[in-house]
Structure 1
Amino acid sequence: MAYWIRFTGCLLVAACAARGRIAIDFALTQPEKVPTLVIVGSLDNPDIHRIVDRLVRDVPGARRILIEGAGHMVNMEEPARFSEIVLGFFPGLDGKSGVSSPKSSPAGSEPSDVRAAVEALRDAGLRRDVEALERLYAHDYFHTNPDGSTMGREQVLDSYRTKPEMTITSVEADEWKAILRGPFAVASERVTFHGRSADGHPFVSRYRVTYVLERRDRSWCFVNSHSSLLGIDRDTSTP
């Protein structure tokens, strides 16, 4: 069960997303664009997630928050987190428009928090820790490869589940930049991988990686990433 919540200044509406057509039809009949919050458990059934996807896509101003580890009865399984999210929705409303100010970041958000999340993702990838990656990747996460192809969340996770053709021994990162805008952050860094190819030869590869993160619940999660290949050096003596 997912809940969608709408604030119009005098009306608060909550509806079960299991009746998604009713919820969407009602929301689309409202003439004003108002903030809409959609809360869903990560373990809820795929039909609910499809309804939520449509609601977020079709209703102007809709924002989705995924509660990791919660199932169908998200409000009963995680009542404290559910209440915190709903109550936190109102302080972020800005005056008459009801739209969050783009100049402010969520309470407690700092560039160091974003950097810590990126470091956690990088470390989980090096260790091929799929469980940690599942916690860090949003339900709707996708990655864009250097050649322009894209990979969905499950494709990325599967790539970490399978035995790699090459071995990465260490990872370094520098040239860090980050921008915070409301509940979103964009971060960029240069990542250097040291490892050995399938035939045992050492290599150093460098990428520029850009991450898009969203503050969901009380932590940052990754909704998108993009990597650009800067070069591959088989002469590891080159700095």
Structure 2
Amino acid sequence: MDHSPASPLHLLIVDDDPQIRSMLAEYLSTFGIEADGAEGGAAMRAAMATRDYDLVVLDLSLRGENGLTLCREIRERSDLPVIMLTARTELADRVVGLEVGADDYVTKPFEMRELVARIHTVLRRARGGGVKRPAAAGGHELRFGNWRLNTTLRQLVDGEDTVVPLSNAEFRLLLAFIEHPNRVLDRELLINQARGRDLDVFDRSIDLLVSRLRQKLRDDPRDPTLIRTVRGEGYVFTGAVEA
């Protein structure tokens, strides 16, 4: 959804605590951000069916369907940015959230101004630093096998012209591989490429990101043909890349 400078952002807050939904919506409104609330999965789907949103703020520990399940569902259907709220600080929870496609994390308790800053940062990344472009033809494309990666629109397209949604971290990781074909890339380099400006990416989460990227590319993890593991060193992209 494109915005003129005066047009407000539209966010969806998915949290089963009505006080948190109300507090966040009221605070965000002081920054010109409109926010709707949803208490769970059913309300989230109903809201998204009737309105286009720029970003979803999603609580991890929801009653019923948890935030990870809903984040995975969002990511399977679109590239809508997702910021997860969590009271958990364990590394494993953040890694799993990254694996299912979250764009960023904010750990409770948090400063409200920090959330606003992260919202704007994630949206800048999602829009390539400017206004979000519609999913249409055009832009610079890199081809490998039956795949096309449009680096302008940030879209991965298969041989049947179907767009495969990528999270921001997945896009940056795939672009790093494509820009360095047939070269072993170590984890440190891939971490720096995938994390973006503010997103935390950890050593083991790179393995999870690669696994998720292989799934998107339909690359058999038992015998991958595009992204191969080099034991003790990192990964190598073996696809033939054409501009």
TM-score range, shorter chain: 0.3 to 0.5
TM-score, scaled relative to structure 1: 0.33
Larger strand share, 1 or 2: 1
The structure number with the bigger radius of gyration is 1
Larger helix share, 1 or 2: 2
TM-score, scaled relative to structure 2: 0.33
